[in-house]
Amino acid sequence: MGCSKWRAVFNFGHLKAQSKLSVFLTMIIIFTYLFYCLSGYCESLPRPVYDQQKTFINKILGLNDGLKQQKLDPHKHSSPGSVVRELPGFDSVDSLLQGNDNELRPDNNISIANNFGSKTFPQAIIIGVKKGGTRALLEFLRIHPDVRAVGAEPHFFDRFYDNGLEWYRNLMPRTLESQITMEKTPSYFVTKEAPRRLFALSRHTKLIVVVRDPVTRAVSDYTQTLSKQPGLPSFQSLTFRNSTTGLIDTSWSAVRIGIYAKHLENWLRYFPLSKFLFVSGERLVTDPAGEMGRVQDFLGLKRVVTDKHFYFNQTKGFPCLKKPEGSSRPRCLGKSKGRPHPQISPEVLLRLREFYRPFNMKFYQMTGHDFGWD
């Protein structure tokens, strides 16, 4: 009888200990989960799993009513990051937009943050021009430790604007507070809607335009297209609307892009000249360190990229980056850069240069810089 009594007491104590242990382990799991969520790790979880776990935890802690109240007034959260995480239906930023074309209120730059940095809208964009040297400039800038840039051209403000601002932001690399986010899409400079759309996102974005002698740029543009379409008509036949009168066909994109003054007028309707930096495509080849110094100053960066990073490749006719540490060879631009141009009649080039001269002079006046193309 005595043994049975002590066995019962022992079993009861054992069950009580097991119950306490279960509660203890459950609380550890709950607090561990909450710690990770507050640290931002929940954002990396697949959405369905996160939603199920969130519902489960809310049921345990009895927070459903509290969360409903927070959703009614999300701006009572203690930080902008928590507001973003708790906004209902944050799979879209449509609720944060104003005006037509899903435009964001000026100066709004919401970020998605975690312990490894934030995805923000770019603070600086290389907006032009095609075949001016934009790829070289971006590659040179990416040496700088305080610059993070998208590799491919997003084409958000000209082709994919309907995809929405969250789509655009998600293309950006994660950056720390000391770093700036950048992208390049040269076609922005010649897209009529681009400045209005970008201004609606942020009026403080810094704009970089790499320009080049418009005649040389047009030939380079044609050469690139010819490499993809071998059956392309001659440069001369595309340049002139009427070969007899010598009337230039400004509807051909290779010619139209080089009318820099016209495109700049459109951008100056929204952004002051102080927001622009005009980089010489010619000097980016002959003096890359000098132009990079101007660019770094404009972006508010320390001059890290200097002449020690470059050497001139005689074969390609372009500067290359010297061999980085841990690499077996230097970094040069791709095979498509520096390809030989086709032979074009000097008379055609002269006529085209005469066409561009008044536009170039106006561009010099607008920018306060003589690029020496005439």
Q: Is 132 marked as a binding-site residue?
A: yes
131 is catalytic: yes
Q: Is 134 marked as a binding-site residue?
A: yes
Q: Is 16 marked as a binding-site residue?
A: no
8 A C-beta contact, residue 165 and residue 102 = yes
- Which residues are bridge partners to 319 per DSSP? 312
Question: Which candidate in 130, 131, 184, 206 is catalytic?
Answer: 131
Q: Which amino acid is at 358?
A: P
Strands 103-104 and 97-98: antiparallel
Q: Is 337 marked as a binding-site residue?
A: yes
Q: Is 323 marked as a binding-site residue?
A: no
Using the 8-state DSSP alphabet, how is residue 322 labeled?
P
8 A C-beta contact, residue 114 and residue 120 = no
Q: Is 135 marked as a binding-site residue?
A: yes
Q: Is 246 marked as a binding-site residue?
A: no
Q: Is 283 marked as a binding-site residue?
A: no
- CA gap 372, 357 in Å, rounded: 11
Token pair 């840039």: residue:
149
Q: Is 339 marked as a binding-site residue?
A: yes
Using the 8-state DSSP alphabet, how is residue 301 labeled?
-
Give, to the nearest 10 degrees, the angle between helix 47-61 and helix 2-38: 130
First to last CA, the chain: 115
Q: Is 369 marked as a binding-site residue?
A: no
Catalytic residue list: 131
Binding-site residues from annotation: 131-135, 212, 220, 337-341
Binding residues for 3'-phosphoadenylyl sulfate: 131-135, 212, 220, 337-341
